Each structure stands twice: as structure tokens, then as C-alpha cells.
Amino acid sequence: MSTLTTTRFIEKEHISELDFPAADVLDSAEKRIFRLKSLHSACEYGNIAQHKVEILFEDETGKKKVETTLWEVTNDAIFLKHNVTIPVNRIWNVRF
């Protein structure tokens, strides 16, 4: 039996239609700290080099990924174009 779950690609314009549970997807403080540092680095990278990053996150129905530029990162949310947000606690990782 496979433990892999399917990750669905989503356009950033549809993220505002998703529902996000309050629970964090990561199970340790160390992973959460690393996630926030990675998000800040991805934001800097995207703004300086004007490159998109891949964000893996989870809403109430499962894992999703989006390719976009991060405009801003706070402790609670990331901001994309057109004021689209994703709660930080629902992000698995970011690749850039």
C-alpha cells in the first residue's frame, strides 16, 4: 500500500475559494521554524530575481501546489498577487 498522496496543481486565482483548517500541517517546532525561514528566503528570491516558487500546501480536501511569486510573508500568512493569501500553518514546504 502506498503512503503517497496525490498533489493537485491549482492556479493562484482559485486559492481564495479554498477552506483551510486551523491545525498546522507540520508536527514540530523545528519544522515550523525552518518553514518560515524558507518562506522568507523564497520571498526575497522571488522579489529580487523575479522567479516563481513552488508552494506545497494543504486545504480541507488535500494537498495542492501552486507556482507563483511570493509578495510578502508574515508569521500567519503568505501573500500572492491580488491579495491572495495562504495560511502559513497550512504550508508543507516551498521550493525555489
Under a CB-based contact definition with an 8 Å cutoff, are residues 25 and 59 in contact?
Answer: no
Q: What is the pLDDT of residue 51?
A: 87
Residue for grid cell 480536501: 61
Instruction: Give average pLDDT by consecutive 10-residue segment, the chain, 96 residues.
Output: 71 97 98 98 87 96 96 96 95 96
Q: What is the pLDDT of residue 3?
A: 45
Q: What is the pLDDT of residue 47?
A: 79
Does residue 31 lie within any of the structural domains? yes
Does residue 71 lie within any of the structural domains? yes
Under a CB-based contact definition with an 8 Å cutoff, are residues 53 and 45 in contact?
Answer: yes
Instruction: Give the CATH number of the domain where residue 25 resides.
Output: 2.30.30
Domain count, the chain: 1
Complete edge-to-edge strand list for the sheet that includes strand 72-73: 72-73, 77-79, 85-87
Kind of pairing between the strands at 8-9 and 62-68: parallel
Does residue 51 lie within any of the structural domains? yes
Q: What is the pLDDT of residue 4?
A: 54
